[in-house]
Structure 1
Amino acid sequence: MKFRYKKYTFLVAGILLLNSSCKKFVDINDDPNNPTVAQLSLLLPSSEISMASNMYLVNSGASTFIQHAIFSSNLGRFQQSGTSFNDSWNGFYSQSLNDIETIISTGTQQEQWGYVAIAKLEKAYLYSIMVDMWGKIPFSESNQGQVYDSPAFEEGAEIYEKVFVLIDEAIADANKVSGTTLLTSGGVDVFYGGTKTSWISMANSLKLKLYNQIRLVDPARSAAAITALVSTPATLIGGTTNANTTDFIFKFGSSISPNNRHPWHRIEYQASKTFYMSQSLISTLFSNDDPRLRYYIFRQNATAGLNNSTNSNGYYGREPGDPTAVPADLSRRATFGIYPAGGLYDNATINNLPATNVFLTNPASPGAVKVVGVNDGSGAGVLPLITNFMVKFIRAEAALTLNTESPAAARQHFIDGVTASLNSIGTISGIAMPATTISGFTAKLAAQYDAANAAEKLNLVMTQKYIASYGNGMESYTDYRRTALPVLRGLASPLNVFPLRMYYSDTELTTNSTIMDNASAIQTAQQITPVFWDK
């Protein structure tokens, strides 16, 4: 494959490499600038950081498709192009997966099984996401440029099977390492510091997620696999205590120079801006007395409203599919809050809150809205990849649709998922929700669950997972295509039908000889061709 370098580089990688290099490894007989053997302690954090950084475009695009936020007017109207996700595709193959393959091959030669285990789980996770976003992709022949300069595309279902094998191999490799730590230097593992049990819980939770995603294809297989996985809940993220401590999340930094802040903070906490907040999500949170609104969205103006009006409550975003031009509103539109982007927490007075509200209320000592700048908020946000709340909602969905657990267990997982979401937001943002808010809000939703029929229960589960997954549009994009839940708003002015897959990189289409002849037809088909698990 031939690639151009991606635009979105998070310089945190440089920090880690600089820190790692401050050790006495120089030998007078070796050229330290041209090592003959890959240094695993440098490659591992590089692969982890590039994997998260290269997700910027696909995550922002998926978030737009499912109305979490509006990254692009065209994508918001379902119009893709060959450059929409170019940088993510190219970066995954030329950087992330290239480093991962080197870690696996070199680590295997050196019998550094901890590195191999982590790299295989990175590879399994990343390829599963790429299948979920694009469907058919290069797999077996990828990252072998000297052998295959035009790697063949493989069916997503075939790649999923290889991903399951990879996960099992990774667990076996991890178990070759004695003790509790996979690496002699835990600081080089950005996610878990090399903690063995955490990586194994991630591996099992990834299997749970993927088996649930294929439940419409082979329900019997999914039911059997999920039943086996949940029989030992201590080996899953969240364990038996509903703790968020083993969440598989990428944590951004707070530095401005070099800038390693959350990409949504970097884009929005400046004079120019790219995003609009989704009026659909805002309305959902506002109308349901949801305390997460103050964490998710920050208002720059107290009275701005839809269509840049001046007599609303400051929650000025855009309706899905709004085709109108962008007015002079950069200092008025609402923006990302303290979670997950590491921005500001909105504790200012909200006009027209219903008097019946219990959880989304005005504080006794309110703050103020403001036009945000680069020094506002820490930027130390997160990208939630596989979390405790996701695991709990997945278990609830599987119990309701596959009978993998009892109805009582499904209900408890639903409650635990909401609780985990609220606790995680408070912990990560540093502004904890009051315990009475958490218990009261979950009790309200539990009552709705108890009064619901089977279809309504599933809708509640998927809706709460959708809200909790704010920050990971990829997860919700996959869920929506599988379940058509939650029901999204119709677009004001669509340019195409809802995209069932993302468009390929135009670089790939013009350089890969296996698809060049049919590139146009292949690209057009992406919009309307379901991923294999979407039945």
Structure 2
Amino acid sequence: MKINKNIIIICICGVLLGVTGCDDYLDINTDPNNPTVAPLDQLTSKIQKDAADTYNSGDFWMANFLGVFTHQIVVREESDQYGLSTGSNFISNSWSKLYLTNTNMNSLIGTATEQGNMIYAGIGKIMHVDAFSKAVDIWGDIPYTEANQLGESIIAPKFDDQVQIYTTLFALLDEAIANLKDETAENSLTPGGDDLIYGGDVDKWIKAANTLKLKMYNNVRLYPELFDAAAVNALISEGNLISSLDEDFEFKYASALAPEDERHPLFAAEYGGGQITQYISPWFYEIMMGVNPTSYFTTIEDPRIPYYWFNQLTGGELAQNPIDYHDPNTDFVSIRFGSLSDGRDSGQRGSGTMVGMYICGGRYDDGMGSPDGDLGSSDGTGVAPFQYINYYERLFIEAELMQAGVVTGDASAKLREAVVAAFAKVDDIAENNGSSQSIPTLSGTTEVTAYIDDVITLFDAATADQKMEIIMTQKWIASFGKFTDQYNDIRRTGYPVLANPNGTNEYQIDAGQNSDGALGDPLLDSETTLGRDYPISIYWPANEINTNSNAPDQKQQSIYSIFWDN
């Protein structure tokens, strides 16, 4: 995969395209060797990568703090304890990237439509719907109908109503499907290798669009003015949805470093950086280890652990510095959410547990510890996908809808299908990782079969509310790294149960590493705290609020809700 860097962004002045900007376009010459609109193939590749980056983890992207809010990642920075400033680079970078990418989306859709190349137009619309439905899910009201309209002299676009945007996106998705099915279209140009997601396979794009529609309907299922049960049932009964691993809607990062870095951005940041910034949450760790008493999966250890993170230490080694959370039985080293302990801020580049193979193309944990000191860029490949929507997610959505009574069906059987598919996804990523390590297959093993059977046994014996919690917690575990989707699930359903630093008996591993370097300090409840409410939406960027005369007053994150939030 090679991403061409020479994509023309129509306007490059101002902080945000069409949101804050200059009075006039820069002069652009009309030399045919430097066209003002990039070719459709270049636009398509660029859009697919940039849309993935917008909502991914890595250097200063939004998912960095959403991983903390969903309690799979812990950091020392401001997003700990749900902290976030209006001027956060994490917010402004993703906002700016969204609207820059939308300029190319608009160019792709408009140019393709004018040329009669409707397959390209349909792909552009699907990418647009995915990007802007996520934006509404995160921010609520945003500039939409007037965004990216500098050519119309709109430099202060209004913020559109979030419900109306979602309504428009549903209609646009229908248009996209119609474009892809249009047998009368000229389609003198059709996507192939430039389509880095499906290689121009129209049938797969239609399935992706239908599955995206199902996902969006599930998001709004508690908002009757927009939810359409008949449409949901029709989508499921027709079955033209993502139905296998090879139909997953995802952008695949690669291992190339030149002419530009094509590795997963989280891998580049963590394995190539001078310090660990994204620690694995001990709350997530203890649930997967089967020791968290608030979880239904107590005593059930998850076989995916060595695929999800890598322990640099081995054999009960001590961490290089005093540390907040250290399990000597597994060599897991991290920090707690809301920690106040002395070890919280100690550097652990050579001993901290790191994000692994599944989430970013890091190292599979073979139990041997770091092969050559601190883990670095040579200890993984960076090959892992950004998962827009995939097969296991579709199955979890159907299990949720069945359990909620929206559609008929056996929620237990559907949950089993979803968990089986989730394990298969781990194998799929491992198989395509390009690692020199020998990474064992999970699916069909005794351990995986027993784990799935135990989960279903718990589900079948549970109350209705408990069943929903089990479905959503299993989806949360399976979708490690899909932090935007997890953030939606938590707000919509209230599950999974999240860590409460102000509670008691929060963690079960009682073996911190004290200031003398020895293991044994108890993990005290008094060493964690939380002084903020859960953010049910995210601040608009400060530069947008301060420079757009049509922007609303800044929100309170714990009060301003998304329309579908329960």
TM-score (norm 1): 0.85
Distance in 2, matches of 1:310 and 1:339, equals 22
Q: Specify the alignment match of 2:3 in structure 1.
A: 13
Question: Could you give the per-residue CA deviations for residues 270-325 of structure 1, whole angstroms, max 9, x where no partner exists?
Answer: 33222111111111111131011110010111235761658452111222222454
Q: Mapping of 1:25-424 within 5 angstroms?
A: 31-56=31-56, 57-82=61-86, 83=88, 84-94=90-100, 96-147=101-152, 148-177=154-183, 184-218=190-224, 221-233=227-239, 235-238=240-243, 243-257=244-258, 258-270=260-272, 271-287=274-290, 288-302=300-314, 303=316, 307=324, 309=326, 311-324=328-341, 325-348=344-367, 371-406=374-409, 408=410, 410-424=411-425
Q: Which amino acid aligns with 1:433?
A: L
Question: Could you give the per-residue CA deviations for residues 156-191 of structure 1, whole angstroms, max 9, x where no partner exists?
Answer: 111110000000000000011479x99634111111
Q: Which amino acid aligns with 2:45?
A: P
How far off its partner does 1:384 sit? 1.4
Deviates more, 1:106-115 or 1:140-149: 140-149
Q: Which amino acid aligns with 1:268?
A: E
User: Per the alignment, in what secondary structure is the counterpart of residue 67 of structure 1?
Assistant: coil
Distance 1:34 1:381, change over 3 A: same
Equivalent residues of 1:44, 1:119 under 8 A apart: yes
How far off its partner does 1:128 sit? 0.3
Distance in 2, matches of 1:311 and 1:446, equals 31
Question: Could you give the per-residue CA deviations for residues 409-459 of structure 1, whole angstroms, max 9, x where no partner exists?
Answer: x22210111011100111111232151243332222121111112111111
Distance in 1, matches of 2:114 and 2:485, equals 35
Equivalent residues of 2:167, 2:226 under 8 A apart: no
Distance in 1, matches of 2:469 and 2:36, equals 55
Question: How many equivalent residue pairs?
Answer: 484
Determine which structure has the larger helix proportion and give its number.
1
Distance in 1, matches of 2:412 and 2:189, equals 39
Q: Specify the alignment match of 2:524 in structure 1.
A: none
Equivalent residues of 2:62, 2:94 under 8 A apart: yes
Distance in 1, matches of 2:370 and 2:442, equals 17
TM-score (norm 2): 0.81
Q: CA RMSD in A?
A: 2.4
Q: Specify the alignment match of 1:433 in structure 2.
A: 442
Equivalent residues of 2:119, 2:191 under 8 A apart: no
Equivalent residues of 2:536, 2:558 under 8 A apart: yes
Question: Could you give the per-residue CA deviations for residues 83-124 of structure 1, whole angstroms, max 9, x where no partner exists?
Answer: 231100011102x11100011111111111011000000111
How far off its partner does 1:55 sit? 1.9
How far off its partner does 1:328 sit? 2.6
Equivalent residues of 2:156, 2:548 under 8 A apart: yes
Give the counterpart of 1:493 among 514, 529, 533: 529
Distance in 1, matches of 2:188 and 2:451, equals 40
User: Per the alignment, in what secondary structure is the counterpart of residue 245 of structure 1?
Assistant: helix
Equivalent residues of 2:537, 2:562 under 8 A apart: yes
Give the counterpart of 1:454 among 464, 471, 489: 464
User: Per the alignment, in what secondary structure is the counterpart of residue 332 of structure 2?
Assistant: coil
Equivalent residues of 2:139, 2:539 under 8 A apart: yes
| Consecutive unaligned residues in structure 2, runs of 5 or more | 8-29, 291-299, 432-438, 502-527
How far off its partner does 1:37 sit? 4.6
| Consecutive unaligned residues in structure 1, runs of 5 or more | 1-10, 18-29, 350-365
Question: Could you give the per-residue CA deviations for residues 41-96 of structure 1, whole angstroms, max 9, x where no partner exists?
Answer: 111111111111122322222111011112453212111112231100011102x1
Equivalent residues of 1:479, 1:485 under 8 A apart: yes
Identity %: 30
Equivalent residues of 1:254, 1:379 under 8 A apart: yes
How far off its partner does 1:496 sit? 1.8
Distance in 2, matches of 1:281 and 1:131, equals 27
How far off its partner does 1:32 sit? 4.2
Equivalent residues of 1:348, 1:369 under 8 A apart: no
Distance in 1, matches of 2:373 and 2:70, equals 28
User: Per the alignment, in what secondary structure is the counterpart of residue 4 of structure 2?
Assistant: helix
